Amino acid sequence: MRLCDPPLIPARAIQKLVAELATAVDRDGDGQDLVLMTVLKGAIYFAADLSRQLETPHRLEFCRARSYAGNESTGQVQIPIWPDKSLAGQRVLLVEDILDTGRTTAVLLDRLKLEGPADTRVCALLNKPSRRVIPIPEDYVGLTIGNHFVVGYGLDYEEHYRGLDAVHVLEDDGSSGLDGG
């Protein structure tokens, strides 16, 4: 695999997108408390930056959905991590790194519905609508991208590259190793 340079979304552009999303969430929420429900692991960098940009009072919760092996969706989604505190009557913002097939989001929204929240919205830094298999709400989306596999700013390929501060396209160059070997 080959990391493409320059980045698809440079660090400064990401921070601008996050600020715009925070402004939109603040505007719609009218100052009412929010639960930032971060989908582990990919969304942690995005959620941490979003949290610091939001003026809306909010608490942090986390969930984990597993649907990916390498860069291919298995179609199966498990929820190994879920908040133990009730979400009943709360306004919940599901914070995701990227909306791809929509399977993960659909499963998490179904699970959330069981909690009886007052409101549920989806906020994702990136969106790949051309890959969608299941329709899902796209309440707050930072940037729509084409059918690329991207890494960085939380997004991984087999747990690599999460810590990059920009988002890069990862290209299949025919090699199986991550270090050119």
Rule CB under 6 A: is residue 96 a binding residue for ligand IMP?
A: yes
Contacts of 78 (CB under 8 A, 6+ apart): 65, 66, 67
In the region spanning residues 72 to 131, those forming contacts with Mg ion, defined by CB under 5 A, are none
Does 82 bind ligand IMP (CB under 6 A)? Our answer is no
Residue 61 interacting with ligand IMP (CB under 6 A): no
Residue span 27-46 as binding mask against ligand IMP, x where in contact by CB under 6 A, dash where not: ---------------x----
73 binds ligand IMP (CB under 6 A): yes
Neighbour order of strands in the sheet with 140-144: 72-81, 58-69, 34-40, 91-99, 119-127, 140-144
Q: Could you list the residues that contact ligand IMP (CB under 6 A)?
A: 42, 67-68, 73, 96-105, 149-151, 155
Q: Could you list the residues that contact Mg ion (CB under 5 A)?
A: 68, 156
